[in-house]
Amino acid sequence: MTSIRRRTLTLIIGLVLIGLTILTLANIHDSNHEIAEVYDAQLATNARLLQGVMRMPLAGQEHAQLYQAFNQALGQAEPKVDGHPYESKIAFQVWDLQGNQLVHTRSAPSLTRAPTYTGFSDINDLGKHQWRTFVLKDEAHNLLIWVGERDDVRSDLVNRIVRHTVLPNLIGSLLLMGAIWLAIGWGLKPLANLAATLRGRHPGSLEPLQLAPLPSELEPMQTALNRLLGQIQEVLSRERRFIADAAHEMRTPLAVLRVHAQNVLEAQNDEQRRESLDYLVVGVDRTTRLVNQLLTIARLEPGTGPVKTQQGDLVAAVRESLAQMTPWVLSRGLELSFECNEPARPLSTDFAAIDIALQNLITNAVNFSPANGQINVTLVFKHDGYEL
């Protein structure tokens, strides 16, 4: 997956570019419209100015001289020398209402006849150029005035406006992208610091994270990580405790099994060997049960669920546990006895936990008893339960 910085930058820059494109297109459209309006107004103004000149009150011969002077002046125009290049792209023609051409510029398109329409229109000069024209009809003075402008005049101006608009927008967009990149990097710096801290930690480190100052958006993340690290520490502590408890609890059963194995090796006849083997099998079964009990105890850690109890005879359970440990106690030069002042009674309890507790008691008693000592186990029933 791409980085948050790259995703955010792509989204923001994409939106900025889309917005700038829309604004640029809108500006170009508005510029085209305004340019068309201004140039159309200029065409109409030129036509009316020409109308005013052509309506001067002159005699018939003087009108002919005026038309001739117009044609000579317009024909002698040299835009490349003493004028403007656009002069060849702007033209006008004048007819009388009978269709006779009175005045025309040299750059004017060739028309087979005088136009029959008035107002604005677009014409094509035999496939050469596109013209925007305005025709003014003056019936009072027997005049038909045609004023035209080549379309590339307007196109050139629009292209200049586009270049002057798009280029600054492009440069500004690049600068804006750089500023956005730096701004996003500054805004995501706390997240980058958190990632760098996590990468720099030792794989086995479970110390809580302490990053400051920390934005409010990252505080829940740090809290969750610290809570997770605490849970991992607790799990590891429980595992270490379980291993230590298992090693401690298995020491005595293994010693008992060793005693039974030695008895098998030292047996004088088949009957003794058979009896020792039976004890050895029983000891293995008991060790297996002890392992299962340890696993059960491990599952009884706080927060793992309720304690599982079962109905049974506590006296018989204690007597069986002591019987299994008797050979080992005897091998240590000690004697083990059991007394109970009450008959067997059914009881609902956790016999696995009682077996482990009793084994721990006997093991401690064996370890701290003098040679040839006596270990007495007494089970007393009271009104609120048994006492061992």
Compute the average pLDDT of residues 174-196. 83
The 101-104 sheet, strands edge to edge: 101-104, 90-95, 143-150, 130-138, 119-124
Structural domain boundaries, residue 148: 4-174
| 385 and 252 together in one domain | no
| 302 and 337 together in one domain | no
Domain with residue 72: its CATH number is 3.30.450
| 70 and 109 together in one domain | yes
Predicted confidence band of residue 224 (pLDDT cuts 50, 70, 90): confident
Q: How far is CA 31 from the centre of its chain?
A: 42
Asked if pLDDT for residue 353 goes beyond 80, the answer is: no
Predicted confidence band of residue 67 (pLDDT cuts 50, 70, 90): low
Based on the structure, what is the number of domains in the chain?
3
What is the reported pLDDT for 326? Answer: 82
| 27 and 122 together in one domain | yes
What is the reported pLDDT for 297? Answer: 63
Asked if pLDDT for residue 124 goes beyond 80, the answer is: yes
Instruction: Show which of 285, 306, 327 is a domain's final residue.
Output: 306
Residue 336 zone, left/alpha/beta (φ > 0; ψ -120 to 50; rest): beta
| pLDDT > 90 fraction of the chain, expressed in percent and rounded | 2
Compute the average pLDDT of residues 128-153. 87
| 265 and 388 together in one domain | no
Domain with residue 358: its CATH number is 3.30.565.10
| 316 and 298 together in one domain | no
Instruction: Choose among 209, 211, 288: nearest CA to 250.
Output: 288
Compute the average pLDDT of residues 350-365. 79
pLDDT tens track for 234-256: 888 888 887 887 777 777 778 87
Asked if pLDDT for residue 306 goes beyond 60, the answer is: no
Predicted confidence band of residue 2 (pLDDT cuts 50, 70, 90): low
Contact 125, 110 (CB under 8 A): yes
Residue 180 within any structural domain of the chain: no
Residue 187 within any structural domain of the chain: no
pLDDT tens track for 263-299: 888 888 888 888 888 878 877 877 777 777 677 666 6
| 273 and 149 together in one domain | no
Contact 339, 379 (CB under 8 A): yes
Compute the average pLDDT of residues 318-330. 81
Predicted confidence band of residue 371 (pLDDT cuts 50, 70, 90): confident
Domain with residue 221: its CATH number is 1.10.287.130
CA-CA distance, 345 to 338, in Å (whole number)? 17
